[in-house]
């Protein structure tokens, strides 16, 4: 049995952020059902069969930050103040809010546990256009591309600073291009030099992008041959092409750690910043997707216009194609930054901190140590990102989680009581199904107003 709320009190929602008013939410809420119905006919040829992870991720996202998806009750025992905190979906590579939180926590982890106070550089590696589609269907091989980038960088540095010193790198795999096209590429944050056994640093002042590109290309082709993903004949032919189609970008040196961490944040943030999405209810049922601002040229297709217009379903197909498969690790640490090098004890902390377990979830025991740890981490992150403490009461006392409400009838009853309205943004086109994402079996008496 879930604890019931005393209806004599009227708790508030904790900093309600109204995710359902965002265009990103509205597009999925209104058109995702139709998207899944039309997928096979319209998108399967280009995007491959619809992966199970896609509907699962989107369904969970529908409840993210919305009390309709369930919430925790937080109370101050001293003054009786109480509010409701909506659960988050914690879906990787999709939910804008959870991705932002995850990235913020990741930066904190890298600052405290990984990065060393030496100059860094930002590198990007991308592969030839004809080789990209294969990775749509063999996503488990994406980490091998990260390894190819690391091997290119480390052999370059070994050549430059001597074989005994240890390079380091953080490699983030991204699959989305400028307009959410399928474009697997690797962002790398790496020290501009190597570490000696005694802890000293040998600086490498110059990086030759053409040499890096050649090394990366050789590594990728060797790996694809080994996996039998390409024929030796194609490799031979590619060697004769005037433009290799592979890309390597080596950014300017970044002397300061805060700037390096900003690059890190950019590297791990998923595709499709929601700020780039425009919907105009007065217009055709189309979405406008804006180009990124000034970003380094790292082998994206050149585009003449600064935006593209898509119909809703096509945009959904593009966006969801970049939801990572479950279990595919997208950020890798190598050399002096690897988990092995940082030690077993540290690795345990990595396990706790990454992926971030950042908010109360729905298991029924609010006082379990696991949940206490999650809440602590969530509160710490909220403090860091928003500069407020979600467990600090207005009276100055600490508040605590007293229960989780996860059953639709109880959820609806309480939300009805506090006058909460689910009010998604309306886009032109077919109207959305009312709340059936949240409430498979709602009590008709307690439906939303």
Q: Site residues (CB under 5 A) for Zn ion? A: 64, 76, 78-79, 81, 88-89, 95, 97-98, 393, 395, 397
**Given the complex with Zn ion, which of 96 and 167 has the nearer CB atom?**
96
**Given the complex with Zn ion, which of 98 and 157 has the nearer CB atom?**
98
- Please say whether the beta carbons of 119 and 192 come within 8 A: yes
- In whole angstroms, the minimum distance from the beta carbon of 24 to Zn ion comes to 11
Q: Who's near 439: CB < 8 A, 6+ residues apart?
A: 68, 408, 411, 412
- In whole angstroms, the minimum distance from the beta carbon of 112 to Zn ion comes to 24
- In whole angstroms, the minimum distance from the beta carbon of 17 to Zn ion comes to 11
- In whole angstroms, the minimum distance from the beta carbon of 110 to Zn ion comes to 22
**Given the complex with Zn ion, which of 79 and 130 has the nearer CB atom?**
79
What is the C-alpha to C-alpha distance for residues 414 and 2, in angstroms, rounded to an integer?
13
**Given the complex with Zn ion, which of 144 and 400 has the nearer CB atom?**
400
**Given the complex with Zn ion, which of 76 and 250 has the nearer CB atom?**
76
What is the C-alpha to C-alpha distance for residues 429 and 414, in angstroms, rounded to an integer?
32
**Given the complex with Zn ion, which of 24 and 289 has the nearer CB atom?**
24
- In whole angstroms, the minimum distance from the beta carbon of 397 to Zn ion comes to 5
The alpha carbon of residue 27 and the mean position of all alpha carbons in its chain are separated, in whole angstroms, by 19
- In whole angstroms, the minimum distance from the beta carbon of 353 to Zn ion comes to 18
């Amino acid at each position: 049995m879930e604890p019931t709320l005393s209806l004599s009190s009227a708790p508030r929602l904790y900093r309600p952020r109204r995710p359902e008013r965002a265009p990103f939410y509205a597009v999925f809420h209104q058109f995702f059902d139709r998207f899944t119905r039309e997928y096979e006919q319209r998108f399967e040829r280009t995007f491959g069969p619809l992966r199970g992870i896609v509907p699962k991720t989107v369904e969970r996202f529908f409840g993210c930050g919305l009390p309709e998806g369930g919430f925790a009750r937080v109370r101050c025992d001293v003054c009786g103040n109480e509010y409701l905190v909506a659960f988050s979906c914690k879906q990787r590579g999709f939910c804008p809010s959870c991705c932002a939180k995850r990235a913020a926590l990741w930066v904190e982890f890298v600052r405290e546990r990984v990065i060393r106070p030496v100059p860094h550089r930002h590198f990007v590696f991308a592969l030839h256009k004809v080789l990209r589609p294969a990775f749509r269907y063999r996503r488990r091989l994406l980490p091998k591309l990260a390894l190819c980038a690391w091997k290119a960088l480390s052999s370059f540095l070994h050549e430059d600073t001597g074989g005994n010193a240890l390079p380091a790198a953080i490699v983030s795999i991204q699959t989305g291009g400028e307009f959410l096209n399928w474009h697997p590429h690797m962002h790398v944050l790496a020290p501009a030099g190597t570490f000696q056994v005694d802890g000293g640093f040998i600086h490498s002042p110059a990086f030759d992008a053409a040499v890096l590109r050649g090394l990366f290309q050789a590594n990728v082709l060797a790996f694809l041959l080994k996996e039998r993903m390409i024929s030796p004949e194609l490799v031979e032919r590619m060697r004769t092409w005037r433009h290799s189609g592979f890309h390597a970008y080596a950014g300017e040196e970044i002397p300061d750690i805060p700037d390096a961490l900003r690059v890190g944040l950019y590297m791990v943030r998923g595709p499709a910043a929601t700020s780039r999405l425009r919907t105009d209810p007065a217009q055709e049922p189309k979405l406008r997707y804006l180009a990124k601002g000034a970003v380094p040229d790292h082998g994206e297709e050149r585009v003449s216009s600064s935006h593209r217009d898509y119909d809703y379903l096509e945009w959904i197909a593009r966006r969801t194609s970049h939801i990572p498969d479950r279990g595919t690790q997208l950020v890798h640490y190598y050399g002096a930054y690897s988990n092995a090098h940082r030690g077993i004890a540290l690795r345990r902390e990595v396990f706790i901190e990454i992926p971030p377990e950042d908010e109360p979830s729905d298991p029924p025991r609010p006082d379990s140590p696991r949940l206490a740890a999650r809440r602590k981490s969530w509160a710490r992150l909220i403090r860091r990102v928003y500069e407020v403490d979600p467990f600090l009461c207005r009276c100055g006392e600490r508040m605590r989680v007293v229960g989780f409400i996860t059953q639709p009838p109880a959820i609806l009853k309480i939300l009805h009581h506090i006058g909460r309205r689910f009010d998604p943004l309306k886009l032109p086109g077919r109207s959305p199904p009312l709340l059936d994402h949240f409430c498979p079996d709602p009590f008709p008496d307690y439906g939303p107003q």
